[in-house]
Structure 1
Amino acid sequence: MAYDRYVAFCNPLHYLVVMNHKVCMQLVAVSWLSAVPAVIGQTYQIFSLPFCGSHRINHFFCDIPPVLKLACGDTFVNEIAVYVVAVVFVMVPFLLTLASYGKIISSILKLSSATGRAKAFSTCSSHLMVVVLFYGTASITYLHPKPNQSERMGKLISLFYTILIPVLNPIIYTLRNKDIMVSLKKLLAKVLT
């Protein structure tokens, strides 16, 4: 999405040529083909751990950090793997997204029209807000020191980045549509009167 926005703002006349079907398929393929081996590797590592005592995960879903808490053996290597994967698959894309938006903001600031700048910032702000919320909560989940976070807080944060943000994403983009906003204002006016 960040690359799409970068091309749309920084090379608008070349957008259809640059963001063609082949490029979109390549971006999807790179995402999947880079993530699958890492996930399989972490799953293999977890299955090789000894588990004793309770096999009940105190979490909403079977994520790696809660499963590691159930292991009896030494989980140091697994914890390092979680950090490495989090840096590679959370921080690197986040930094690339920020770099993309740095270029976009630089291009927007070069616009001569104040209304053009406002419209461009409006277009970017919704995506940037979703990106910061998603990557921020994912970073807190996977890059925090283990003893500093309670299990309840970990559950809340994981719900935030797995459920709330994906639900908010279409709402945030929909609210940018003027027709939707007019209809929503009419609906609220009827409800409130």
Structure 2
Amino acid sequence: MYYFLSHLSSTDIWYTSCVTPKLIGDLVQRKSISYRNYMSQILAMHFFGITEVFILTVMALDRCVAICRPLHYMIIMNRARCSLLIVSAWACGAAHSLSQFSVITRLPFCGPNEIDHYYCDIFPLLKVACTNTYVTGVLIVANSGMVALVTFVLLVGSYIIILFTLRNHSAEGRRKALSTCGSHITVVILFFGPSIFAYLRPPTTFPEDKIFALFYTIIAPMFNPLIYTLRNSEMKNALRKFWCQKTFLDERQN
């Protein structure tokens, strides 16, 4: 679990670093970006974003094995297999981003160069292209839709298997097993919900896109460390001790 979390945290750092510094800079100065930097941000965003999607899917499969086959867990999820799953996640992220990138780099641009978004996304770019982008939009939606469909099926399937297995457990066993999945389910909802709304639809843009994009570009990666940290009993005890000491000192000063 911690091996996968280390890769998830690394992906979160790189993922948010692709958009947050530029967003902060745009808030204090002229909002502009070169064509090369625009394309670079699209490539990086899709690479790290899809890699995070696959890492979250791998973590769901890991929880499924841990709960359904606890005695064989160390054999099934050995270090070699975990490394293979992580390498596959990074490779799938690279394949997806490169395929999207190869499609949009062929688009001509000769007219308006303003987009209604706070980071470089594909759909706003299609809107300002000087050609018919219907086929390109269909290819992009099909690519993103395939990724979303495969990962969604794996996620739902893993939790269905977990719930089916827990039928024969005691109430205490079910509570402990489901508590280990609570953090992962929270992260998946924060990340997948807005992402599905943004990419599983016809290639159009809406003013609400910026609000939903905040969840999967900034909010979800920012809360991931907090969500998983609060599952650690030692961290919870340390926080409880810190707040108790702070409350005691405040009362003593008063």
Q: TM-score, normalised by structure 1?
A: 0.87
Contact 1:42 1:78 in 2 (8 A): no
Q: Give the conservation status (yes or no) of the 8 Å contact 1:9–1:104.
A: yes
Within-5 A mapping of 1:67-78: 67-78=125-136
Structure 1, unaligned runs of 5 or more: none
2:217 aligns with one of 162, 172, 177? 162
User: Is the 1:58–1:66 Cα contact (8 Å) retained in structure 2?
Assistant: yes
Q: Counterpart in 1 of 2:201?
A: 144
Q: Of residues 143, 153, 156 in structure 2, which corresponds to 1:98?
A: 156
Residue 136 of structure 1 aligns with an amino acid whose one-letter code is G
Q: CA deviation at 1:146?
A: 4.8
CA drift of 1:60 comes to: 2.5
CA contact (8 A) 1:141 1:154 kept: yes
Counterpart-to-counterpart distance in 1, 2:157 and 2:189: 13
Matched, 1:181 2:239: no
**1:109 maps to amino acid:** R
Structure-2 separation of matches of 1:31 and 1:77: 28
For structure 1, which segment, 138-147 or 71-80, has the greater mean C-alpha deviation from structure 2 after superposition?
138-147
Provide the C-alpha distance between the structure 1 equivalents of 2:144 and 2:81, rounded to a whole number of angstroms.
26
Q: Which residue of 2 aligns with 1:18?
A: 76
Length, aligned pairs only? 190
User: Identity over the aligned pairs, expressed in percent?
Assistant: 41
Structure 2: which 5+ residue stretches go unaligned?
Answer: 1-58
Where 1:52 maps in the other structure, the secondary structure is coil
RMSD: 2.1
Runs of 4+ in 1 over 6 A off after TM superposition: none
1:40-55 correspondence to structure 2 within 5 Å: 40-55=98-113
User: In 1, Cα distance between the equivalents of 2:178 and 2:91?
Assistant: 33
Deviation track 1:72-112 (CA, whole Å, cap 9, x = no partner) reads 2111112111211112212210221110011011112220x
Contact 1:86 1:139 in 2 (8 A): no
> TM-score w.r.t. structure 2 length?
0.68
